[in-house]
Amino acid sequence: MNKLIFLTVLTMSVNAFSQDTIISLWPKDKIPNYVASDEKEEHVIEDILRISKVQDPTIEVYLPSKKNATGQAMVIFPGGGYRILAYDWEGIDIAKFLNSKGIAGIVVKYRLPSTVSQTNPQDVPLMDAQRALRLVRSKAEEFHIDPNKIGAMGFSAGGHLASTLGTHFDEKVYTAIDEADKLSARPDFLTLCYPVITFNQSSTHKGSQNNLLGKNPKLATVDRFSNEKQVSANTPPTFLLHATDDKAVPVENSLAFYKALVKNNVPAALHVFPTGGHGFALGLQDPHLRTWPELLFGWLEGLE
């Protein structure tokens, strides 16, 4: 019921200026690491829309009205433990809310490592993430956004993917297919909401680790995807959000990334709420959590 009320209010507030356009990340015959199979993409709607077994990775573009637009854009990676995508709750709903503040919201339907129609599955989400940033940057004029104000935003495992993009943006994981791939995949800023960060501490979210890396990954692979170890001076400015009582993805994940950012002199903001658990998304039904979007917007203004 709370989600229904939230969606009704949200729809009323943003439907005047948001429209969606869905664009495939890759040409059908050039999807990297794709293996033909009989597997079908699954969309299940219960309390939220869950997408799994992604076959055609896409971006879904929501743009604010031109008169309200700030020129900023957020490329959004929904969570779901690298098993499913919580596509509306941590994707579409977020994009529409960002539109209300003049920010373009672009939701990525990225491939998941559990899908059988691919090889070397641990690299596939990063391939799609890099491609999404480059594709959005290539369409900056069409989308009326500033190519130097494109951020990446992720929730839970989507936060891991966003932080992977922020620390591995220049790692070559696929062969360029067009002019868009000549552009940088570096986000201009990161927003990480209750993110999975590390795979080699007691605070690891084992479900995400097992789904992405398998059950017995090599130590070098674990370190490669433990993103607190991959932070450098080139990592984008980062806004982190977590709840102390998160039992699924402990707050130590955000703390570790924040410490690494500070060590490398990367501008960072960390907001930890005492309660909220995991998966609260916008948190608009909670008097404390619902303040976090305004904290983000203020932080984004400070980057300009």
- What pLDDT, on the 0 to 100 scale, is given for residue 251? 97
pTM of this structure: 0.93
- What pLDDT, on the 0 to 100 scale, is given for residue 9? 41
DSSP string over 42-101: EEEESSSEEEES-SS-EEEEE---TTT--S-EEEEE--STTT-EETIIIIIHHHHHHHTT
If one counts the domains in the chain, the total is: 1
Tokens 């995400």 found at: 208
- What pLDDT, on the 0 to 100 scale, is given for residue 205? 87
Structure tokens at 134: 């480059």
Residue numbers of the domain that contains 188: 2-303
Burial pattern 221-234, b for ≥16 Cβ within 10 A else e, equals ebebbbbbbbbeee
User: Is the separation of the CB atoms in 166 and 226 below 8 Å?
Assistant: no
Percentages helix, strand, coil for the chain (3-state, rounded to 5) are 35, 20, 45
CATH number at residue 299: 3.40.50.1820
- What pLDDT, on the 0 to 100 scale, is given for residue 11? 44
Structure tokens at 210: 């097992």
- What pLDDT, on the 0 to 100 scale, is given for residue 14? 42
Residue 295: which H helix or E strand, with range?
helix 292-303
Question: pLDDT truncated to tens, each residue of the chain (304 aa)?
Answer: 444 444 444 444 444 445 579 999 999 999 999 999 999 999 999 999 999 999 999 999 999 999 999 999 999 999 999 999 999 999 999 999 999 999 999 999 999 998 889 999 999 999 999 999 999 999 999 999 999 999 999 999 999 999 999 999 999 999 999 999 999 999 999 999 999 999 987 778 888 999 999 989 999 999 999 999 999 999 999 999 999 999 999 999 999 999 999 999 999 999 999 999 999 999 998 888 999 999 999 999 999 7
